[in-house]
Amino acid sequence: DQQVKQNSPSLSVQEGRISILNCDYTNSMFDYFLWYKKYPAEGPTFLISISSIKDKNEDGRFTVFLNKSAKHLSLHIVPSQPGDSAVYFCAAIIQGAQKLVFGQGTRLTINP
Amino acid sequence: DTEVTQTPKHLVMGMTNKKSLKCEQHMGHRAMYWYKQKAKKPPELMFVYSYEKLSINESVPSRFSPECPNSSLLNLHLHALQPEDSALYLCASSLRFGQGVLDTQYFGPGTRLTVL
């Protein structure tokens, strides 16, 4: 049972435009959501997180939006840069279960 | 500094070998994790240590043996592995682990393991 889903395996965006990566979840008990970025042959790098009590968190070019009623979160990157090309994982955690659950990842390619 | 280091970067071993993966962090984190990641899949949790004690074992086969000698170090001892154990092994750490805790996990670069 995939509790965190990233339905788009890949996304291509032109440099300078906005990249929007989506993530859906099924478990309403998730308390905290994170986005990680992963380059090939490297470990995931933490990007940004959001608590379930908020609907938006911004850090520089990265903004995460949370829609609890729709069980949906998204990561906006603007403007997109070539160095943003990577696989992006959405992850969620339930305070009680103490376990990070990852989505399948979305490969973002930024085209010049 | 949010750095988690892992050695070796790459490891090739036969099914009868014994080898160890090492992970180190100096962020004062008291929780450390081992994950396994197969190609085009998300990381899967294997073990969690909290204050040097094993808190979670996700039903991992005994050919994988974790060890946490101190709060900065985490080892994964490997013995009699199978070719299907070939994967990227990731170490992570967080400030704390436990009920009511929502601390961010920081990952190392991983060890690419190939079992022949």
pLDDT at A1: 66
Distance to chain B for A43, nearest Cα, Å: 4
Lowest mean pLDDT among A60-64, B42-46, B62-66: B42-46
Distance to chain B for A40, nearest Cα, Å: 10
**Nearest in space to B112 (alpha carbons), one of B89, B94, B84, B79:** B89
Q: How many CA atoms lie within 13 A of A77 on its CB side?
A: 26
Helix (H, G, I), strand (E, B) or coil at B84: helix
Q: Which amino acid, A67? A: N
Q: How many CB atoms lie within 10 A of CB A30?
A: 22
User: Which of B4, B41, B98 is the closest to A98 by Cβ?
Assistant: B98
- What is the C-alpha to C-alpha distance for residues B35 and B42, in angstroms, rounded to an integer? 10
For A12-33, the pLDDT digits (tens) are: 999 999 999 999 999 888 989 9
- How confident is the model over B14-26, as a mean pLDDT? 95
For A63-112, the pLDDT digits (tens) are: 999 999 999 999 999 999 999 999 999 999 876 666 789 999 999 999 99
For B67-94, the pLDDT digits (tens) are: 999 999 999 999 999 999 999 999 999 9
pLDDT at A9: 95
Decide if B74 contacts B49 (C-beta within 8 A).
yes
Cis status of the peptide bond prior to A79, with omega within 30 of 0: yes
Which positions in chain A touch B88 (Cβ < 8 Å)?
A: 41
- What is the C-alpha to C-alpha distance for residues A22 and A7, in angstroms, rounded to an integer? 8
Hey, are the CB atoms on A98 and B97 less than 8 Å from each other? yes
**pLDDT reading at B1 higher than 70:** no
Hey, are the CB atoms on B56 and A102 less than 8 Å from each other? no
pLDDT at A108: 98
pLDDT at A2: 74
